[in-house]
């Protein structure tokens, strides 16, 4: 079975709000070695319908558990030094242990360390601001325009990628988060109000 967690990831708590779970997840391994990812057990949407937008948000929070000793374990073999969180979508068989969303085919991700996005291995530099503790990042898939977009603290950033119809009709897309940071992430799939005004976005897009 496809693993939902990469190594070193821990669910700190899971809160049920009106039947929707809000999970707080933290990576507790060494930063700068092998990136780990986590995805949902169910796809963001299982079938293709015009006029529908699938969307979720992630809040970055301070490290919920002290793993400061891990920060001191870097050595000359460390591949990179900057902590990074990647938020996006990936297909069911995307590897959870050795990649951030966007680095490999069938995935997309918005990266915290430099504000770039990656889609199917292609990097889009300077897409948006960097983000960190206190920020809320949203990821949306618009089935009418076949576009993927991100939001930051309630603000629509831009279209990050355009998917062809085959990618929407033949692939299931799962909310996926890559963690190479000890900060935690809280995921909201609609159990709480979104920071981004999704209803307004849909009304605007429908009137276009």
pLDDT in tens, the chain (208 residues): 233 555 555 554 554 434 444 455 555 556 656 667 888 878 886 445 556 889 999 999 887 555 555 544 444 444 445 788 999 999 988 888 778 888 889 999 999 999 999 887 778 888 999 999 999 999 999 988 899 999 999 999 999 999 988 888 888 899 999 888 778 888 888 888 999 999 898 888 765 4
How many Å apart are CA 58 and CA 11, to the nearest integer?
A: 14
Q: Which of 143, 173, 140, 141 is nearest to 154 (CA)?
A: 140
How many Å apart are CA 182 and CA 31, to the nearest integer?
A: 8
For the entire predicted model, the pTM comes to 0.80
Q: What 8-state DSSP symbol labels residue 45?
A: B
Q: 184 and 62 in contact (C-beta within 8 Å)?
A: yes
């Amino acid at each position: 079975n496809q693993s939902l967690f990469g190594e070193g990831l821990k669910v700190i708590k899971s809160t049920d709000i009106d039947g929707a779970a809000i999970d707080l997840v933290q990576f507790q391994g060494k930063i700068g070695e092998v990136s780990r990812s986590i995805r949902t057990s169910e796809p963001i949407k299982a079938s293709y319908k015009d006029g529908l937008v699938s969307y979720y948000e992630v809040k970055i929070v301070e490290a919920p558990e002290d793993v400061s000793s891990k920060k001191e374990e870097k050595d000359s073999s460390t591949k990179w030094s900057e902590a990074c969180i990647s938020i996006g979508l990936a297909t069911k068989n995307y590897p959870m242990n050795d990649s951030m969303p966007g680095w490999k085919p069938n995935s997309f991700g918005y990266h915290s360390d430099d504000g770039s996005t990656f889609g199917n291995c292609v990097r889009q530099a300077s897409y948006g601001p960097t983000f960190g503790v206190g920020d809320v990042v949203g990821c949306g898939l618009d089935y009418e325009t076949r576009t993927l977009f991100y939001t930051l603290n309630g603000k629509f950033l831009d279209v990050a990628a355009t998917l062809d119809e085959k990618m929407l009709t033949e692939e299931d897309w799962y909310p996926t988060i890559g963690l190479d940071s000890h900060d935690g992430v809280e995921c909201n799939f609609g159990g709480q109000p979104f920071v981004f005004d999704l209803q307004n976005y849909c009304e605007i897009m429908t009137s276009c």
